[in-house]
Structure 1
């Protein structure tokens, strides 16, 4: 799925075929051969420069958004000029151009919803195939014919742009009440009999008194928009970012006051309700000639549920206001962490370098009250990420842990939907070993979680803080999970708490040399859920938590524990909340979330060591189980190599016991004359010993630098010997012995 999309936004150029003067210089005298500059010439230079910049930066536009007022006070030629500039300089397909009419683009004497009102707009924009809004009086109702003509969608459906017409009632003439209506047209001739010029001027002024530049979106248009949005194809993963384009503003983008009737949209709250109901995330408009990028918060009727919309107001270019003539709008972080980058493109001067104002950045998911997109941020305070989509919450928690909450307190609240009770949650973007696909990902996760939840392990001398041992055998005797089950069976107790830190074992008087788990405490809470069911929520505290690799495994662990408790009680797993006092993103390898595979086999599948040794000794694989053991061995070697690639201050568990056991199995079963096997066993023992030396060292960068090249050399030898005895891709064979 594409993570980025870039659009060019153009608004209010106000052009005409005869030219519109743009006096940028101080012309105190008229000099032959130095004509006055025009808006058309200035915009042409801008487009040439922009095309050069895009080519130089190897950037491609995903769309062009034109939000109206191509023409200047209705003068002909503006539509054609803007369309020509886009077509000649940007080389973008017409079906990637989105265009809406502005109030200057509709004739003053044309009735709302009439063919005359949209004649030029249809001819220039719609007929060639641009994306245009549904038009009152032009398009069918209630059936929406060809809704695809009224929306621009990403190839992967990660974003969609919906044009909206707000100019159907621009320059509308109001209906006067009787008896004034009957006498109105006669006023000019009555007041100025025989004075044709004066009468014409009076008639124009009287018409202006009854003409209103009214912004409005009709009920039919809103319903048509709702149908178009509803029928829009959705992405396979994540939420679609929906963008609305209109000419008129939702609310004034600046402190400038405009004194006129209908300065704002007449049915504004109805339009805002549509934006909220259709999950529009960004609104782009023009009209006010003011640049702004602010959030509008739209609440439901009760005022509890808030929807946030980023409103981008586009400026134009005028004398003294040339810094934001058009703008590039880039969407980043799609689909889960969308961010908008707005780059103003100033009007250039011939021969001068282009000026580049600092871009404006707006994160679309930063603040909120209650919704799946919520992240609450306050300077210096804990950051909260919440949601019900695991992929979305993971992406956002990871992004926040890298920025706002880096080395600070991060709370993640996950309300997962009901599951099948079989699979454990794992974000689709989580990087498991490369060759794991489909069900193998789930097998890898389950084995990893089950190992962390073992009540006893042969590796406890190396990892005395194994989560399962602390939860089920605290102090060597207390099963905290059984205690929690008993408490929650009796009542919704707040004492259903388990601790994983043992001060007697873990603490030193001076704090030196201490090693204990980051996972410190978990509370399980019984809660009345929907349909009369009871849910069990989990709230876990971590003194430090790494979010790229560790947080997803922690979530799977907590879900594993929830299910164990709920199966005993007949309840269902509920929400999961993690509290990290120190949020980090420093992992580089799955090695960091587990003991190495070959070591974990001692606890979980010792038979795989026998199968692997047998395959290496006899140079053959027999059956699925032995093939799987060899494949896991190759994965373990790759895992160990990754551990040697870069220093990590938190330390990485390295293989020791599993290597020694495998070496022993090979030695006792290898033929005496097989020198290659002897070398293999010796290398296994040597790697185990250098790993043990490193593990018992200070784990400093200097220690890592001494260990890494030796370990890598031994790994290369082991990989070569493994490939020599068991070529990759070798099929399983039937036994002949």
Structure 2
């Protein structure tokens, strides 16, 4: 009835079948007749739907071979051959039965346009085989039942059956000879005019357990499993259909090179079964779409039906069975929900396989308290900071980068906030994005930070503009009514050890800003870097030194710093914060002078000049203060000259020793003043 209902439905939908795949075990405990019955049912119900013996593929199962028959013998395959091969079906090449590769009729099913091909594989040649018992056990084996039950013939018969079962092995194996024949057939098959041929293997035994069900038996796996897996990988078998375990699974198996990183992905489908309790998946209708370039498989379980009752239609999730060709320089993708994990992996990739290549990082952070910005625990900050201090440092840094105006534009005319909120001097791109996304999703909710009129030169020389080039915000409407805002940003180049976390924090900052006005929640962050790099030991100071950023954000800290150094004491949290920032500035300058950065980095200038001015103004004849002001002015002059120069290695070698010396003297001055104050 199941096949009759299936045929009725296919005719109603004007569909034809390209083939029938039978993965073995038509017989129950070796009883004869199962093959013939199944074949006749298939022809009876499916002949009008394109099925003939020529497009039925059948392989023998371990219950289809004659128990205790010799491997490769005609007795072993007698019932299988009398039906499937005698009727002209597609069967596997059989050890001992077939000699030449062309013996035994068709050994493959090929699409008319060659876009797919099915190859049957025999795995049951060594199934249900009696073992060779060693002497002297073999001499007395047959007499053991009578010795154990001399007066009970029925018990002796049962004992003989059990003993023979212990001595019998049910092994799954594919011979090297059959694999070689298959290799020749696959290599010689006609290829499609475009795209890759989808190759499907059909065998009885599984190459991996398709369920959690435990089965304790010898030869639970193939005896030469790795040889078979290597064959599937090398011959590019994309789909493998098996029986045997009576489980309804569909899983990808990744087949790796033995001594390499190349991987081939094969979709393993366990066949259906007729048995009590599994009526809903007695057969499977497999549909292939997207040929020849983007093949996908969908599977519909076909259930046994009861008279007069409609079957329940269930289609399993479609599986994409693409196998991308290995191409040098393909983008590396890092993704995750833990910023510490993602950060470490991205840094590692940026310094190895993705170095100077494309690196895509996808971060799906959990939403924390409003306004909070993410920063990896391993992020290198010059001095130890508490969680609150780290968040304040990050917030101030990101806040500076997002200023719509900066007093340092003459040194860095591409501060991100100015480009986002005053592009071309007049366009507020963030306000535009809010307006676009307020009512509905839009693919036009993007902002650009590169201005060709301002940044480009005709010959490309002396150009200097931000690595952060483009960001798009996507509104994502969730099923529970919530709306999340994703950010996708493109960077022409990106340094990952110090810059990438700041870029991510900037994107989160922008998400919070937009979400705050629209009532959304910040969602995923994706960064795309066209040129990934990492200089884990080379500081970038995240572009602008803290003491210079104070000119825009907190100029009063420079005054508080001068007062604290002049009075030799720290009064309150604000002065403590100013002293901490000053020490961090010296640390950053020391690090910048320790290691050459070929990209060049901004160094402290304007903040140093203003600090020196404050020190001179507040000086009441203190010789130490006068000397410190001179040192600071000298340091600012050296930094300005270096920044205006070519910043090549010879320039660095001339600049760095002087800076290290000046920084050390200023460290000593700072510590001396604070120690004097505390002791006094």
1:571 Cα deviation after fit: 1.1
Quick check: 1:710 aligned with 2:658? yes
3-state SS of 1:531 partner: coil
1:557 matched to 2:506:
yes
Partner residue in 2 for 1:624: 573
CA distance in 2, matches of 1:290, 1:266: 9
CA change 1:722–1:212 in 2 (3 A) is farther
Tell me the distance in 1 between the aligned counterparts of 2:175 and 2:396: 58
CA distance in 1, matches of 2:647, 2:531: 21
Partner of 1:521: 470
What is the alpha-carbon distance in structure 1 between the residues aligned to residue 340 and residue 398 of structure 2?
19
Residue among 477, 486, 489 paired with 1:540: 489
Distance 2:254 2:630 in 1: 64
CA–CA separation in structure 2 for the residues paired with 1:363 and 1:568: 48
Residue 268 (str. 1) matches residue 224 (str. 2): no
Distance change >3 Å, CA 506–CA 268, structure 1 → 2? same
Q: Shift of the alpha carbon at 1:409?
A: 1.2
1:433 maps to which residue?
382
User: How far does the alpha carbon of each residue in 1:577-622 deviate from its partner, in whole angstroms, 9 at most, with x for none?
Assistant: 1111111112535543131111111111111111110011111111
- Structure 1 residue 380: Cα displacement: 2.5
Shift of 1:480: 0.7
Cross-structure match for 1:105: none
- Taking the aligned partners of 1:521 and 1:592, their CA distance within structure 2 comes to 23
Q: Distance in 2 between matches of 1:293 and 1:611?
A: 72
Match of residue 603 from structure 2: 654
- Structure 1 partner of 2:166: 210
1:470-501 Cα shifts (integer Å, max 9, x gaps): 00111111111001111111321111111101
Q: Distance in 2 between matches of 1:572 and 1:541?
A: 22
Residue 673 of structure 2 corresponds to residue 725 of structure 1: yes
Query: 1:173/1:528 Cα in 2 relative to 1: closer, same or farther (>3 Å)?
Result: same
**In the alignment, structure 1 residue 512 sits paired with structure 2 residue 461:** yes
CA distance in 1, matches of 2:496, 2:358: 12
Distance 2:257 2:213 in 1: 12
Specify which of 408, 423, 431 is matched with residue 474 of structure 1. Answer: 423
Partner of 1:675: 623
Residue segments in structure 2 that go unaligned for 5+ positions in a row: 1-127, 131-139, 148-158, 180-203, 216-220, 241-246, 268-317
Taking only aligned residues, the RMSD between alpha carbons, in angstroms, comes to 4.5
Distance 1:286 1:675, change over 3 A: farther
Q: State the distance in 2 between where 1:426 and 1:420 align.
A: 14
| Residues 574/378 of structure 1: CA separation in 2 closer, same or farther (3 Å cut) | farther
**2: CA distance between counterparts of 1:188 and 1:561?**
84
Pick from 465, 470, 493: which aligns with 2:414? 465
Q: For the residues of structure 1 that align with 2:515 and 2:525, how far apart are their CA atoms?
A: 14
| Paired residues of 1:214 and 1:266 also in contact (CA < 8 A) | no
Please list the CA deviations of residues 333-369 of structure 1 after superposition, one character each: whole Å capped at 9, or x if unmatched: xxxxxxxxxxxxxxxxxxxxxxxxxxx68799x9999
- Kept after mapping to 2: 8 A contact 1:173/1:210: no
2:552 paired residue among 603, 607, 610? 603
C-alpha change, 1:383 and 1:255, in structure 2 (3 Å) is farther
TM-score, structure 1 normalization: 0.53
Contact kept in structure 1, 2:371 and 2:509, CA below 8 Å: no
Q: Is 2:591 the partner of 1:642?
A: yes
Superposed, 1:393-404 pairs within 5 Å as 393-404=342-353
In 2, are the aligned partners of 1:385 and 1:397 still within 8 Å (CA)?
yes
Give the Cα–Cα distance (whole angstroms) in 2 for the partners of residues 446 and 532 of structure 1.
31
Correspondence 1:614 to 2:563: yes
SS at match of 1:474: coil
Separation in structure 2 between the aligned mates of residue 521 and residue 301 of structure 1, nearest angstrom: 47
Matches for 1:359-374 after TM superposition, within 5 Å: none
Asked if 1:693 is matched to 2:641, the reply is yes
| Aligned ranges 1:156-171 → 2 under 5 Å | none
State the alpha-carbon separation in 2 of the partners of residues 541 and 601 from structure 1: 29
Cα separation, 2, equivalents of 1:617 and 1:524 = 49
For the pair shown, which has the larger CA radius of gyration, 1 or 2? 2
**Quick one: distance in 2 between partners of 1:253 and 1:401?**
44
Q: Against the structure 1 CA distance between its residues 173 and 302, is the aligned structure 2 distance closer, same or farther, given a 3 Å change threshold?
A: closer
For residues 340-355 of structure 1, the aligned pairs below 5 Å read none
Give distance in 1, aligned partners of 2:228 and 2:599: 45
Give the conservation status (yes or no) of the 8 Å contact 1:615–1:621.
Answer: yes
Match of 1:412 among 319, 344, 361: 361
Following superposition of structure 1 onto structure 2, how do residues 66-465 of structure 1 map, counting pairs within 5 Å?
A: 207=163, 210-211=166-167, 268-271=209-212, 378-465=327-414
Whether the 8 Å CA contact 1:666–1:681 is kept in 2: the answer is yes
Partner of 1:153: none
Contact persistence 1:376–1:384 (CA under 8 A): no
Helix, strand or coil: the match of 2:458? coil
How many residues align? The count is: 439
Correspondence list, 1:53-72, <5 A: none
Instruction: Give the CA deviation at 1:529.
Output: 2.2
State the secondary structure of the residue aligned to 1:509: coil
Q: Is the 8 A contact 2:173 2:222 kept in 1?
A: no
Q: Matched residues in 2 for 1:254 and 1:447: separation?
A: 69
Shift of 1:696: 0.3
